[in-house]
Amino acid sequence: MLTDLPLDQLISYRSSQTRPDDFEEFWDTTLAEARQHDVDVSAELVETGLTTIDTYDVAFAGYGGERIRAWLRVPAGASGPLPTVVEYIGYGGGRGHVLDNLTWASAGYAHLYMDTRGQGSRWSVGHTPDSAASGPQIPGFVTRGIEDPSTYYYRRLYTDAVRAVDAARALPQVDVERIAVHGRSQGGALTLAVAGLRNDVRAALAFVPFLSDFPRATRITDAQPYREVADYLATHREDVARAHRTLSYFDGVNMVSRASAPALISVGLMDPVCPPSTVYAAINAYPAPCEVLTWDYNGHEGGGPVDVERALTFLKAQLG
Amino acid sequence: MLTDLPLDQLISYRSSQTRPDDFEEFWDTTLAEARQHDVDVSAELVETGLTTIDTYDVAFAGYGGERIRAWLRVPAGASGPLPTVVEYIGYGGGRGHVLDNLTWASAGYAHLYMDTRGQGSRWSVGHTPDSAASGPQIPGFVTRGIEDPSTYYYRRLYTDAVRAVDAARALPQVDVERIAVHGRSQGGALTLAVAGLRNDVRAALAFVPFLSDFPRATRITDAQPYREVADYLATHREDVARAHRTLSYFDGVNMVSRASAPALISVGLMDPVCPPSTVYAAINAYPAPCEVLTWDYNGHEGGGPVDVERALTFLKAQLG
Amino acid sequence: MLTDLPLDQLISYRSSQTRPDDFEEFWDTTLAEARQHDVDVSAELVETGLTTIDTYDVAFAGYGGERIRAWLRVPAGASGPLPTVVEYIGYGGGRGHVLDNLTWASAGYAHLYMDTRGQGSRWSVGHTPDSAASGPQIPGFVTRGIEDPSTYYYRRLYTDAVRAVDAARALPQVDVERIAVHGRSQGGALTLAVAGLRNDVRAALAFVPFLSDFPRATRITDAQPYREVADYLATHREDVARAHRTLSYFDGVNMVSRASAPALISVGLMDPVCPPSTVYAAINAYPAPCEVLTWDYNGHEGGGPVDVERALTFLKAQLG
Amino acid sequence: MLTDLPLDQLISYRSSQTRPDDFEEFWDTTLAEARQHDVDVSAELVETGLTTIDTYDVAFAGYGGERIRAWLRVPAGASGPLPTVVEYIGYGGGRGHVLDNLTWASAGYAHLYMDTRGQGSRWSVGHTPDSAASGPQIPGFVTRGIEDPSTYYYRRLYTDAVRAVDAARALPQVDVERIAVHGRSQGGALTLAVAGLRNDVRAALAFVPFLSDFPRATRITDAQPYREVADYLATHREDVARAHRTLSYFDGVNMVSRASAPALISVGLMDPVCPPSTVYAAINAYPAPCEVLTWDYNGHEGGGPVDVERALTFLKAQLG
Amino acid sequence: MLTDLPLDQLISYRSSQTRPDDFEEFWDTTLAEARQHDVDVSAELVETGLTTIDTYDVAFAGYGGERIRAWLRVPAGASGPLPTVVEYIGYGGGRGHVLDNLTWASAGYAHLYMDTRGQGSRWSVGHTPDSAASGPQIPGFVTRGIEDPSTYYYRRLYTDAVRAVDAARALPQVDVERIAVHGRSQGGALTLAVAGLRNDVRAALAFVPFLSDFPRATRITDAQPYREVADYLATHREDVARAHRTLSYFDGVNMVSRASAPALISVGLMDPVCPPSTVYAAINAYPAPCEVLTWDYNGHEGGGPVDVERALTFLKAQLG
Amino acid sequence: MLTDLPLDQLISYRSSQTRPDDFEEFWDTTLAEARQHDVDVSAELVETGLTTIDTYDVAFAGYGGERIRAWLRVPAGASGPLPTVVEYIGYGGGRGHVLDNLTWASAGYAHLYMDTRGQGSRWSVGHTPDSAASGPQIPGFVTRGIEDPSTYYYRRLYTDAVRAVDAARALPQVDVERIAVHGRSQGGALTLAVAGLRNDVRAALAFVPFLSDFPRATRITDAQPYREVADYLATHREDVARAHRTLSYFDGVNMVSRASAPALISVGLMDPVCPPSTVYAAINAYPAPCEVLTWDYNGHEGGGPVDVERALTFLKAQLG
């Protein structure tokens, strides 16, 4: 069933989220600190049994200079810099098994698939720890360090995602003029964040993105993982304003404010996990051209493989 | 939690299923009838946007000569006959999107991915109708035509699966001496059935196979799709013996009785869908060498991508 | 809890469903084809152990001339033609046991209780198979053959229902001037369809009818069986328009457009299965007099036995 | 799935329940007190719209002389005393609507359908209040007055059930030599209780009977209504022995100890509500001939209408 | 997720409930009858192992003169009359264990914790039976005696609650000029009822109160215990008006109409049990000053211990 | 329903867990490192509104010297060292609100209620962060750092718990000769761990303890939080042995091996969270006298307030 507003209201919906005065300063400072560490990319060819794809075990310096793992996949024996997709992962997963996620490399792209710090256990394995202290939290990652923007988990993860593009640019297989960012759900949130924090990505492909319009998202769904915030605030009931202040520094609605790359965003009108109004909140705030894939009868799976098919077409148009 | 017997009892568990006297005759007749139709394979190259893999839209004559669809994927530009994997699909799915299921072709195999008649709607699309009349049934496919072995849905689908190997053998990309059959869940059941009904497959890779040990399976789990049988018999309560007679012609425990190919079978000890005793019933009835992957803490996902990794190694040993 | 609009909005609610230009032609052709087969009614007295009711095992030619089963119940030893109720069955059930459904015959009516092709397994047994091929479908009957109006399951079933009245008219116990049609849920949908497709029924008693206002029904509830459509379209996400075109030929809102018999329709304001707006969509489209039984605190059970009590009164007024 | 022991163990299972020394005295005294009130049966013909059945609104003096309601149904215009079925109702229901439950009268029996004090709200209406004070209790009826055998709800209800046979015997339509008792679930428990407390019933038909083998029943299922006892004892954790002492005066295993009428008892091997061992506990304690209907794939619905069909045959043999 | 209207609409929401013409007469008569019995308070010191609190086992004459139990807790060795909190209990619980609920006495108050007749089994034990006959009802207490205001369960319980203040006034530890009433959920409903029925309480502290705005409450939530009413009316579908008439004599919206004490009321905007509009219905009908604690992300737990903290501050201001 | 073995088998059940050879060395080293930091207790009187209890906000140096918060509650104005209860908290909670948990101080004890690092969000607030990096993990705390004993979360928390007793001993209100440790569920696990790691506690009161017999616990229940381990191993399926090696250093069965204080342990036979065999595994491994409270019909709530009542009696006997 529909989980949110009808389509005609979605199209004009605007979030009530506000942008902190020091939002840009916060992110400029955060990224500058991260860049004090050399990106220091390593890439080691691994044996996978695949013959059409070469796979590299990559690591680079993310937030705090900590080592972030990734897989780089390229068509076997590819020579010359390739158009590139930097991809981020959905909530709970990690960079997974070397035999998974072959589509982008099979389509001729260099594909950098970034691990998610601390996650990588629920539906695919990961190999990157999260490093920081965390105040009392609801199990999961959405309230880890929510006491303050400076300690919030997504400050570290968004920074990793920005640095993943720096890492990609340092790899010989990558054509630095043709980099797109991409992800689904949490990966879509990172995609939009990076699109807003960097001006050198050429396209942003965000499917059913998470972490957008927290004031509404935390009130209109009981589905995880937005529900982690409501669970936290049910107990920390006197900290509602403080938590929302933290979240405002990470809300997709604000993250996209400086984006310039063309975007392709998908949304499922029956999605209880990332209700469509919260996705449209980001779409309607996106300052550059944005193509929308609206799926009437889909939940959080959105357009599934058809989203990918459309993305291939979109990227061909953007990256040549 | 464990859903069945502990491992030490599984290892020696034998099903109480019995084999009908005319079991071999039933299948010999069924397959002979199907082979009265020419296999009549067509294969049309399709545009997918992928550069490392060539994909063909395949059709061939299955049960009753009806057209069964499939995808054939091979490494782009492959010349000469390839070792081949014929794969069958899990319950509810169809051959899906051209961008899915790239692993086997990426590993250098010809990969024929057979559509499942009538299904292809729950989690991936299909394009093959089921053709026959069906008596009163529980929604789904497990009780469709259960009144008699001759009308049972799986008579048609098992026959399609046998014919898919005939189709593969007729394709120029396929090395007829190096064909393996493979599948997960319902696809694993078809794998075991084909391994028992043909003597020309070189390996059988069945992950968490379904449709095995009906006398026990229909009594020890409430999970779908075995539950369809119990739901049917709850209403058709005077037809218990008749339904079990039908099922005995399709039970994995009986299907494998003439198998000669080495097998790799996986099982999850926390699997409620295909409880491990029902899988071990097939394993312990398997007359040829059988390697078992037992996953202590997995449900119906079994070994997931690690099952595939082990399969690559196993196939390399069997097919060279 | 209320599952839909409040009553004051229901009363004026109109569906957004549209009627295809060839709607009448489609049905005229369909019924004409069916009538090329003689209705060929057989009726065999069966032993039931009941002393006040005579029961006959009936069969007649439905869609495609296929044999459709039914029970005919009449007061024991009744002489002369009787006022008659032709009843259709709810989703998943069949004509059931001879000891069930004694009310109408006990009230002095001839009662023809038509089996539902292919169903008859979930909560009562049936004895009539469905005959046609079916493309990929969600388990159940609502998406069987949904690719096209000509192959859709309900084309066959609606035609059976129309032919059941022909069959009734051919039975000596039936007074052809006093026939009413009746059913609950799916049976209510068939009731409304027959009321629209025939001009010789004297009353239509539809309780909590199903299969009405698909554009809204498939979007406002997750309850089965409407959910089958949404499940199908979640996977067949590029076929939304095609599926809705098919459904428009079978939507209760359109089916009733030529109805002339007085109707009694019940609706439960807490019904998640057939949400009240979808029932009111049919009520508000009904062109002849229509009495409505609105139950404030009922779900899909509607008025239960009180619906039947009201129906007895209504029928006495209509049929004398 | 099977909810209990396998059939071979059920057949020899014996409950650990014990019989209190004053069990017979308790019931003799209880019934003697009830019989100090005249049974004082009233029966008023009601208008139902049915033509083959005459229905009477009956009331009689039950426990404490309180008025217990019932429906009496007989074939229309029946003359002479009829073989009779006194029926008791499942948990939560009442005597219901006049249009329901027509089978027994349609089969030529006088059918007295006793209301259940205080219940009659969950799935069918009732019209008889429960009269007594109740100590702290779990919502429902199974722990009402459980502090002591003298205050327990089922002391009153069992007594009503015994008195219903006295009431039947006082009705002119009833042949006092041919009375059977009957019921399903709670009604089955009352059937067994009456079979043990009276020596003048000619048959006992108990389908999936409740209220049997409390020591095991309260520990092996979480299904309601046995769960009410466990819920009560979870809070009243220091009263376990006291509650079980009360229950021992009402346990089917003890109630049947003086039964002499032939019995027909049904049981569903997948019944979570009245797990089969608890039913077999009563079967195996039954001192007179007992025919068992065992349904392999049924839950608490047991044999459904087939149970009734078998009951008609059984009664014909017992009552002539 | 939010379970009801947004806050800006809650603030002006008014219930559609109406007050019966004889509402005041009904309650005046009811209380006058109760007061014909002497309140007859007994209080016996009990051994608890606690050293800072003295605990008394209290009983007094409630509705019909029946003995109602309670705990009185006071600071150990307190001399002189104390400010006093009379507290009522949430649905299903009883006065519980002597070691529970120490807060009010630890804060220097005399604390009278009244048992709830008939309940006291679900989450804490009670020791007070309910005494009256009950017509057919849904398991629980909300439909017990709902046939008529005179027989309704809450007539007895509200009267007990009024009498508990009479009992408190008769205790030497209590300062009769400084009595507040208090409770959570059902206890909050009793608090508001007593605030409306007595003019001698100095403050009313009702957290997430139940039993308010029945016309809306019974339609907008499926959560228990409001759902008991809908369950009852689903079966007793012809008694809707009669039941609502009964409820109107007990609806918080009407009960508060004569209240004069300052109130503190809490509400959780994500409460499915007592949806916030039903609480605001009472708040907005409250004729005396009313402070509201609104918790954005809380369900039926409301403000939890923070509600209590605020209550301590509020009471200090009101009682000195 | 019973969730595990029957009582007669529980009494003799022994876990299959093994103790690592360097178990003692591991813990000796761990605690020695922690004690390199001065315990550095601070205690600040806080205003609570309570008059019978004085409450202090306490902090001390736990694992790694990190500040661990706690509440100290003592009878108001208590002079002289008091018998003392150091209490640990159940999974997900924190030290909570100052108005909660008054029982022990009200009974005359000094009560030190230790916060749980990182938790304190699910059902009560906490104020202590967890400090360490965590590898990929399932949301929650049971798999945080499970890669190695040295990084495992419970290494830090068990050490905090040991240090809490050091902190208690440094407080002037505490009689160092009369200290007991206590907790429920996770708090019970910490209680048993401290009883094994220190020889100066006089009693251990562990109710329904968690974290015991991991080899069995992770296989026989799907309830959280044991399920976190199974969820982790479902994904990290090749790390089963490594994870169990880590867990063996923290398993209650091993932790108690050096315990000398008399223990009181409670267990619920219907507990799905901490199944009774896992509790009996610790009981049967406990080398000092151990009194067991077995609750037949209770789940994870165990004996609830009656456990506390028994604990008061037990402590009086042990501490005088």
Residue E295 pairs in a beta bridge with E268
Is E7-319 a CATH 3.40.50.1820 domain?
A: yes
Q: CA–CA separation, D180 vs D313, rounded Å?
A: 13
Residues of F within 8 A of E99 (CB-CB) are 103, 305, 308-309, 312
Which residues of chain A does E3 touch, with a Cβ-Cβ cutoff of 8 Å?
A: none
Q: How far apart are CA D21 and CA D62, in angstroms?
A: 26
Residue of A210, A211, A184 lying closest to A301 (CA atoms): A184
Q: Choose among D1, D297, D304: nearest Cβ to B220.
A: D1
Q: Which residues in chain D have Cβ-Cβ distances shorter than 8 Å to F310?
A: none
Can you state the percent helix, strand and coil of chain C, rounding each to 5? Answer: 35, 20, 45
**pLDDT score recorded for residue E313:** 98
Pairing type for strands B53-61 and E174-184 reads: unpaired
The end-to-end CA distance of chain E, in Å, is 39
Query: CA–CA separation, A158 vs A193, rounded Å?
Result: 7
Tens of pLDDT, residue by residue, chain A (320 residues): 999 999 999 999 999 999 999 999 999 999 999 999 999 999 999 999 999 999 999 999 999 999 999 999 999 999 889 999 999 999 999 999 999 999 999 999 999 999 999 999 999 999 999 987 788 999 999 999 999 999 999 999 999 999 999 999 999 999 999 999 999 999 999 999 999 999 999 999 999 999 999 999 999 999 999 999 999 999 999 999 999 999 999 999 999 999 999 999 999 999 999 999 999 999 999 999 999 999 999 999 999 999 999 999 999 999 97
Instruction: Enter the tokens of residue C237.
Output: 């996400």
> Closest approach of chain C CAs to the CA of D51, in angstroms?
5
* A185 included as an active-site residue: yes
Those residues of chain B that have pLDDT short of 50 are none
Q: Above 80 in pLDDT, residue C232?
A: yes
Please tell me the predicted confidence (pLDDT) of residue A73. Answer: 98
Q: What residues of chain C, 210 to 249, have a C-beta less than 8 Å from chain B?
A: 231-232, 235-236
Find the CB nearest C103 among D102, D107, D304.
Answer: D102
Q: Which residue has the tokens 């215009």?
A: D77
Structure tokens belonging to residue C283: 């009520």
In order of C298, E247, F81, the CA distances from E240 in angstroms are: 11, 11, 65
* Active-site hit among E175, E271, E277, E307: E271
CA D101/CA D123 separation, integer angstroms: 14
Encoded tokens for D95: 């005597």
Among chain F residues, CA nearest to E74: F52
Q: How many CB atoms lie within 10 A of CB D248?
A: 18
Q: Could you tell me which of C191, C66, C86 has the C-alpha nearest to residue C129?
A: C66
| Statement: residue F133 has pLDDT above 90 | no
Taking a C-beta distance cutoff of 8 angstroms, is the pair E271, E208 a contact? yes
From the candidates A52, A97, A100, A113, which should be mutated to test the interface with B, based on the most B CB atoms within 10 A?
A52
Q: What is d(CA D100, CA D112) in angstroms, rounded to the nearest whole number?
A: 13
Mean of the per-residue pLDDT values of chain D:
97
Give the pairing type, strands D110-114 and C67-75: unpaired
**Does C have 3 or more CB contacts under 8 Å with E?**
yes
Question: Does the beta carbon of C137 lie under 8 angstroms from any beta carbon of chain B?
Answer: yes
Q: Hey, is the C-beta of A67 within 8 angstroms of any chain F C-beta?
A: no
Note the pLDDT of residue D98: 97
Task: Enumerate residues 6+ apart whose C-beta is below 8 A from A128.
Answer: A67, A68, A69, A94, A95, A115, A116, A117, A118, A120, F136
> Among all residues of F, which ones are annotated catalytic?
185, 271, 300
What is the torsional sign of CA E72, E75, E81, E87?
negative
Annotated catalytic residue E300: yes
Whether residue D203 contacts residue D5, with contact meaning beta carbons closer than 8 Å, is answered with no
Residue with tokens 């849920």, as numbered in its chain:
C185
CB contacts < 8 A, A to C, total: 28
Cα–Cα distance, C214 to C226 (Å, whole number): 8
Kindly name the residue from A130, A231, A271, A307 that is annotated as catalytic: A271
Task: Inspect the interface and report whether the beta carbons of A134 and F135 lie closer than 8 Å.
Answer: no
* Residue F249 in tokens: 């250093």
Please give the structure tokens belonging to residue F137: 């993990």
Q: Please give the torsion angle defined by the CA atoms of residues E288, E294, E298 and E304, in that order, rounded to the nearest 10 degrees.
A: -60
Token pair of B110 as six digits: 């010809």
Residues of E in contact with C297 (CB under 8 A): 218, 230, 233-234, 237, 240
Token pair in block for residue F36: 């390199």
Model pLDDT, residue C178: 98
Instruction: With CB atoms and an 8 Å threshold, state whether D237 touches F295.
Output: yes
In A235-279 the beta strands, taken as DSSP E runs, fall at 263-268
C301 touches E: beta carbon within 8 Å: yes
The alpha-carbon gap from A216 to the nearest alpha carbon of chain C, in Å, equals 21
Q: How far is the C-alpha of C219 from the C-alpha of A227, rounded, in Å?
A: 24
pLDDT tens, residue by residue, F5-30: 999 999 999 999 999 999 999 999 99
For the cut 90, the answer to whether the pLDDT of residue D135 exceeds it is no
Q: Which of F216, F219, F236, F237 would best serve as a mutation to test chain B binding (most B beta carbons within 10 A)? A: F237
- pLDDT band of residue C134 (cuts 50, 70, 90) is confident
Predicted local confidence at residue B204, as pLDDT: 98
Pick the residue of C48, C51, C52 with the most D CBs within 10 A to test the interface with D by mutation. C52
**Chain C residues touching D74 at Cβ < 8 A:** none
Q: Do residue B136 and residue C118 have CB atoms under 8 angstroms apart?
A: yes
Of D171, D172, D190, D170, whose CA–CA distance to D182 is shortest?
D190
Task: Return per-residue pLDDT of chain E as tens, 320 residues.
Answer: 999 999 999 999 999 999 999 999 999 999 999 999 999 999 999 999 999 999 999 999 999 999 999 999 999 999 889 999 999 999 999 999 999 999 999 999 999 999 999 999 999 999 999 987 788 999 999 999 999 999 999 999 999 999 999 999 999 999 999 999 999 999 999 999 999 999 999 999 999 999 999 999 999 999 999 999 999 999 999 999 999 999 999 999 999 999 999 999 999 999 999 999 999 999 999 999 999 999 999 999 999 999 999 999 999 999 97
CA distance A39 to A192: 22
Q: What is the pLDDT of residue B79?
A: 82
CA distance C106 to chain D (A): 5
Q: Which of D185, D212, D248, D266 is catalytic?
A: D185
For the stretch C236-242, contacts whose Cβ atoms lie closer than 8 Å and that sit 24 or more positions apart, written own/partner, are: C236/B121, C236/B125, C236/C136, C237/A295, C237/A296, C237/A297, C237/A298, C237/A303, C237/A304, C237/A306, C238/A306, C239/C147, C240/A296, C240/A297, C242/C147
CA-to-CA distance for F30 and F158, rounded, in angstroms? Answer: 10
Nearest partner of A85 among A66, A64, A60, A106, judged by Cα? A106
Beta bridge partners of F53: F75
Query: Considering only CA atoms, which of E164, E146, E166, E158 is closest in space to residue E255?
Result: E158
Say yes or no: B308 contacts chain A, CB-CB below 8 A: yes
Confidence (pLDDT) at D290: 98
D163, HSE (Cβ side, Cα atoms, 13 Å): 33
Distance of CA F288 to CAs E122, F183, F193, F204, F284, Å?
A: 36, 18, 14, 10, 10
- Rounded to whole angstroms, the Cα distance separating F306 from F312 reads 10
Q: Where are the alpha helices (DSSP H) in C236-297?
A: 240-248, 252-255, 276-285
Which residue in B47, B51, B307 has the most chain A C-beta atoms within 10 A of its own C-beta, making it the best mutation to test that interface? B51
CB-CB contact of A95 with A118 (8 Å): no
Question: Do the two chains C and F touch, given a threshold of 8 Å on CB pairs and at least 3 pairs?
Answer: no
- CA-nearest residue of chain F to A135? F129
DSSP H/E element including A28: helix A23-35
Is the omega angle on the peptide bond into residue C225 within 30 degrees of 0, that is, cis?
yes
Compute the nearest-CA separation of E281 from chain A (Å). Answer: 22
Contact criterion met (CB < 8 Å) for A235 and F118: no
Q: What is the pLDDT of residue B106?
A: 98
> Mind giving me the DSSP string for B182-230?
EEETHHHHHHHHHHHH-S--SEEEEES--S--HHHHHHH---TTHHHHH
Asked if C113 and C163 count as a contact pair (C-beta separation under 8 A), the reply is: no
**Average pLDDT value for residue range F92-107:** 98
Q: Does F131 touch chain A (CB under 8 A)?
A: yes
Question: What CA–CA distance (Å, rounded) separates E116 from E139?
Answer: 16
Residue that the structure tokens 């400090």 belong to: F131
pLDDT confidence of residue F159: 98
Banded pLDDT at C135 (limits 50, 70, 90): confident
Q: Which pTM does this prediction carry?
A: 0.97
Q: Which of A15, A185, A212, A266 is catalytic?
A: A185
Among D300, D123, D105, smallest CA distance to D207 is for: D300
Question: What SS3 class is residue D30?
Answer: helix
Least confident of A134-138, D211-215, D270-274, E301-305: A134-138
A71 in contact with chain C, both atoms CB, cutoff 8 A? no
What's the pLDDT score for residue D80? 81
Distance CA B200, CA E14 (A): 78
Asked if C150 is an interface residue toward chain B (Cβ–Cβ < 8 A), one would say no
Instruction: Please state, in angstroms and rounded to a whole number, the distance separating the CA atoms of residues B89 and B119.
Output: 10
pLDDT above 90 for F132? no
pLDDT at F263 over 90: yes
ipTM exceeding 0.90?
A: yes
The pLDDT value given to residue C225: 97
Give the Cα separation of E208 and E302 in Å (integer): 6
pLDDT at F135: 83
- Subunit contact D235:E121, Cβ cutoff 8 A: yes
The Cα–Cα gap between D191 and D170 comes to 19
Please list the helix, strand and coil fractions of chain B in percent, rounded to the nearest 5, in that order: 35, 20, 45
Q: Tell me if chain E has a CB within 8 Å of the CB of F305.
A: yes
Give the whole-angstrom CA distance, residue A162 versus residue A63: 9
Distance CA(C243)–CA(C240), nearest Å, equals 5
pLDDT above 90 for C56: yes
